[in-house]
């Protein structure tokens, strides 16, 4: 019995050694394989994260570019609307100055001493007013060129020119009255009583010219004013449209910021 025990122990050791060997053979490669897999997974995750960050950076850059482009576009539209608003104000101002300068033509600054300047001065003054109006109208046409505005503008300017003709005709009548009186006064320079009569007749003629001017300008001004009111309404409506559009652009600009 004692001789068998050493053999039994040797067999047990061999069995145990084989068991340990097979355990290492089976599970040790799997351990390293699993560890390698985990390492590879970490590397993949790092690469994916880097790609995502790169894409995110590109998207942020594109977003900033689009925002800048949108802000530039909105600012450009605001600048155009601002320019149109200023053109409307300038057009209305030049139009009103021209019209009311014709209505407020003064007779009292001319007499026998300076009447020779009446045609030249009034011509230059009203030509300048019309020239300024034409420039303002041409500038506004860059923004407003619809049929309604164009037709109303042409109709209005036609009536204003008729008013201008009344003033021009009046200045010629005044010039004629003055020059006739001056020639008669030269002839009657040695006859004080006749000179007084000539002056009185001249004043009567000037008053007649003034009354005729007042009557004809009032009738013509009614036509001009009716069209001018339509033009003011049209311009006011256009300003309201611009205000609404500008407010919308500003709101979008604020939201983009």
Q: Are 231 and 156 contacting, i.e. CB atoms less than 8 angstroms apart?
A: yes
With cut-offs at 50, 70 and 90, classify the pLDDT of residue 2. very low
CA dist., res. 74 & res. 257, Å (int): 12
Residue 199's SS3 state is helix
The string of pLDDT tens digits covering residues 46-81 is 555 665 566 556 555 655 555 555 555 556 566 778
**Whole-model pTM?**
0.65
The string of pLDDT tens digits covering residues 141-200 is 988 888 999 999 999 999 999 999 998 898 899 989 999 998 998 898 888 889 899 999
Q: Which of 31-40, 84-93, 197-206 has the lowest mean pLDDT?
A: 31-40
Q: Which of 24-28, 46-50, 119-123 has the lowest mean pLDDT?
A: 24-28
Answer yes or no: is pLDDT of 34 > 50.
Answer: yes
**Per-residue pLDDT at 153:** 94
The string of pLDDT tens digits covering residues 233-256 is 999 999 998 888 766 554 555 555
**Per-residue pLDDT at 122:** 81
**Count of residues making up the chain:** 257
**Per-residue pLDDT at 76:** 57
CA dist., res. 239 & res. 243, Å (int): 6
CA dist., res. 223 & res. 236, Å (int): 20
CA dist., res. 213 & res. 68, Å (int): 62
With cut-offs at 50, 70 and 90, classify the pLDDT of residue 137. very high
CA dist., res. 67 & res. 71, Å (int): 6
What is the percent of the chain with per-residue pLDDT over 90, rounded to a whole number? Answer: 33
| Mean pLDDT, the chain, whole residue set | 77
**Per-residue pLDDT at 219:** 92
């Amino acid at each position: 019995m004692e001789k068998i025990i050493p053999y039994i122990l040797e067999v047990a050791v061999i069995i145990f050694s084989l068991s340990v060997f097979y355990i290492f053979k089976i599970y040790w490669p799997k351990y390293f394989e699993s560890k390698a897999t985990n390492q590879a997974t970490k590397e993949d995750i790092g690469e994916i994260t880097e790609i995502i960050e790169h894409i995110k950076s590109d998207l942020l850059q594109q977003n900033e570019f689009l925002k800048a482009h949108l802000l530039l576009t909105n600012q450009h539209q605001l600048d155009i609307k601002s320019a149109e608003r200023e053109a409307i104000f300038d057009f209305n101002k030049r139009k009103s100055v021209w019209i009311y300068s014709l209505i407020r033509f003064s007779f009292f600054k001319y007499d026998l001493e300076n009447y020779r300047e009446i045609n030249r001065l009034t011509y230059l003054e009203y030509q300048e007013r019309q020239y300024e109006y034409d420039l303002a109208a041409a500038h506004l046409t860059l923004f407003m060129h619809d049929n309604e505005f164009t037709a109303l503008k042409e109709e209005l300017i036609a009536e204003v020119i008729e008013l201008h003709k009344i003033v021009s005709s009046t200045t010629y009548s005044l010039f004629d009255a003055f020059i006739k009186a001056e020639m008669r006064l030269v002839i009657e320079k040695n006859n004080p009583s006749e000179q007084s009569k000539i002056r009185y007749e001249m004043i009567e003629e000037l008053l007649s010219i003034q009354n005729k001017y007042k009557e004809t300008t009032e009738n013509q001004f009614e036509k001009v004013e009716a069209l001018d009111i339509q033009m003011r309404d049209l311009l006011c409506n256009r300003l309201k449209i611009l205000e609404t559009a500008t407010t919308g652009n500003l709101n979008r600009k604020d939201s983009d910021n």
